[in-house]
Amino acid sequence: MSEATNTIKCADCGGVVSKRLNACPHCGAPTAAKSGEVPPADESNYVSTPVTLLVIGGALLMVVAIFLDAGESGTPISGPAQLPQERRLSSGGTDRPLGRPMNEIDVQVARDAVEQYDIVKRQGDAIEICVQAGFAAAAYLQAKDEANYRRWKQIENADCRAAGLTR
């Protein structure tokens, strides 16, 4: 480590790391100054929680849009048989069914959100768990499943309190 520079070499991957960072941006390994003291965090390297939520929410919406686009393009979407109450897409005077009924898709999105929550619960930090619980609640709201929506709002509130976030 050179005193003339503001960088150090990562002990794990050998990458160049700013002395001001607490972790290597290449491999995530924690770093520390020679004195053993952790340097102060450079807050300009962190993205605020609202921005993070917007990015994650946007990604979720893109996945749903891609899923719906597959049904509109005529490409069959594998899955259970269509329910009798399916939405239809009007295109040039011709009505054609979407790949699957919208409610069935909403329910599957909610189930996927719960599976993602379970993964984050096992491996994520407290804020990620709080955010993912919110996604599960929002997915059940979209599916118009009031009982599960209320249940997931309670889980979200408890997880956010555990993360130190209050409303």
Report pLDDT digits (tens) over 87-108: 444 444 444 455 557 778 888 8
Question: According to the model, what pLDDT value does residue 154 have?
Answer: 94
Report pLDDT digits (tens) over 48-101: 677 677 778 878 888 887 777 665 545 444 444 443 444 444 444 444 455 557
pTM: 0.42
Nearest CA-CA partner of 113 in 87, 143, 86 = 143
Long-range CB pairs of 104-112 (<8 Å, 24+ gap) are 104/79, 104/80, 105/64, 105/67, 105/68, 106/139, 106/142, 106/143, 106/144, 107/143, 107/145, 108/79, 109/64, 109/139, 109/142, 109/143, 110/136, 110/139, 110/140, 110/142, 110/143, 110/145, 110/148, 112/139
Question: According to the model, what pLDDT value does residue 43 have?
Answer: 52
Q: Is 91 helix (H, G, I), strand (E, B) or coil?
A: strand
Rg, Å, the chain Cα set: 23
